[in-house]
């Protein structure tokens, strides 16, 4: 399982490399559907961060605040996600590149991006998530329960990809 910033960085860079515009709002919804697909297809979460029901749909707050400086504009390519670790033996702090996303999670990420790459108005995705039970049944500013996501999309897998 990954950190949502790590997954977001991977998605942003993949989109930039493939000339797919990705705004913060669109990124939030892609992350949400990546999590839903991971729960249904792999049986585990892709990232550990909670998903919160905000006014404009599901949001991973750490990712939102990391990229909100871009507003509604496309997010440019990002530096590779770095991990900080402490080496007890040498008493030093190390900064290393993350190990990267495994092929099974990459496959899900690609499928979700492919499904929504031609969505140029992210409010389409806002309306879509508002019409689906996990967001609709969660109070604003509360966490969307992972089991609610898993149950809903297990019964409605077609809703993940369109």
Q: Is the pTM here over 0.85, yes or no? A: yes
Least confident of 2-16, 20-34, 60-74, 84-98: 84-98
Q: Where are the alpha helices (DSSP H) in the chain?
A: 4-17, 24-37, 61-67, 103-116, 123-130, 133-136, 146-155
The band of 82, judged by pLDDT with boundaries at 50, 70 and 90, is low
Residue 47 has which token pair? 């990232």
Residues 6 or more apart whose Cβ sits within 8 Å of residue 47: 1, 2, 3, 4, 6, 7, 31, 34, 35, 60
Mean pLDDT of 3-7: 94
> What are the tens digits of pLDDT across the range 34-49?
999 999 999 999 999 9
Q: What is the pLDDT of residues 112-158, one digit of tens each?
A: 999 999 999 999 999 999 999 999 999 999 999 999 999 999 999 99
Work out the pLDDT band at 99, boundaries 50, 70, 90. low
> What is the sign of the dihedral through the CA atoms of 65, 66, 68 and 69?
positive
């Amino acid at each position: 399982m990954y950190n949502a910033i790590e997954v977001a960085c991977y998605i942003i860079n993949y989109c930039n490399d493939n000339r797919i515009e990705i705004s913060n709002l669109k990124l939030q919804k892609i992350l949400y559907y990546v999590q839903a697909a991971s729960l249904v297809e792999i049986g585990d979460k892709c990232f550990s961060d909670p998903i919160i029901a905000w006014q404009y749909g599901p949001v991973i707050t750490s990712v939102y605040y990391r990229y909100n400086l871009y507003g509604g504009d496309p997010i440019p390519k990002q530096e590779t996600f770095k991990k900080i670790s402490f080496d007890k033996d040498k008493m030093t702090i190390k900064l290393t590149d993350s190990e990267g996303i495994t092929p099974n999670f990459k496959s899900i990420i690609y499928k979700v991006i492919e499904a929504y790459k031609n969505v140029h108005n992210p409010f389409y995705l806002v309306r879509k998530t508002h019409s689906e039970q996990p967001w609709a049944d969660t109070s604003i500013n509360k966490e969307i329960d992972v089991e609610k996501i898993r149950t809903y999309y297990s019964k409605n897998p077609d809703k993940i990809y369109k």
